[in-house]
Amino acid sequence: MRETMAGKPPEQACPIGPVVDIVFSRWTTPILWALHEYGRQRFVELERRITTITPKVLTQRLRQLERDGLVIRTYHPEVPPRVEYEISELGRTLAPLFATLAEWSAANLDKVEAARLTYDDATRLPARHS
């Protein structure tokens, strides 16, 4: 097994790897963005804002985000019971990271798309003539 100078395999040596695993999983970013942008919300409100997520996956991601300390779940023992979710102080510390990524996106996504088109055109097989 190849090891880095730090004595760890390359996939474990990257200091941002664990952060990427936590923050940039498929549904974490839209959930955190919605909670940051719109404040405390009930499950159904999040479900309406993130229309392509299933209730099962939303439940799983919210539980994981609560476990990671990025989301706070508040249970109100009423009839019917009410549960609300909000971004935690720890979750709010990600705001500058998301702002930087939004800036990068605005400045560079068109360049990424152009690069993809150029690559796709260059790697496309020529049409076969019969």
The residue count of the chain comes to 130
Retrieve residue 90's tokens.
Answer: 């720890």
Global pTM value = 0.75
Residues 2 and 57 in one domain: yes
Residue 3: the pLDDT is 53
Residues 47 and 72 in one domain: yes
> pLDDT tens for residues 18-38?
888 888 888 999 999 999 999
Does residue 55 or residue 2 have the better pLDDT?
Answer: 55
Residues 49 and 106 in one domain: no
- Rounded Cα distance, 28 and 17, in Å: 15
Domain, as residue range, for 106: 94-124
Residues 47 and 78 in one domain: yes
Q: What's the structural domain count of the chain?
A: 2
Token look-up 């999040």 returns 46
Residues 16 and 30 in one domain: yes
State the average pLDDT over residues 119-130.
76
Residues 9 and 27 in one domain: yes
User: In this model, does residue 2 exceed pLDDT 60?
Assistant: no
Radius of gyration of the chain (CA): 20
> pLDDT tens for residues 34-56?
999 999 999 999 999 999 999 99
Q: What is the mean pLDDT of the chain?
A: 88
Residue 4: the pLDDT is 52
Q: What share of the chain is helix, strand, coil (3-state, %, to 5)?
A: 60, 10, 30
Residue 1: the pLDDT is 47
Residues 23 and 76 in one domain: yes
Identity at 87, one-letter amino acid code: I
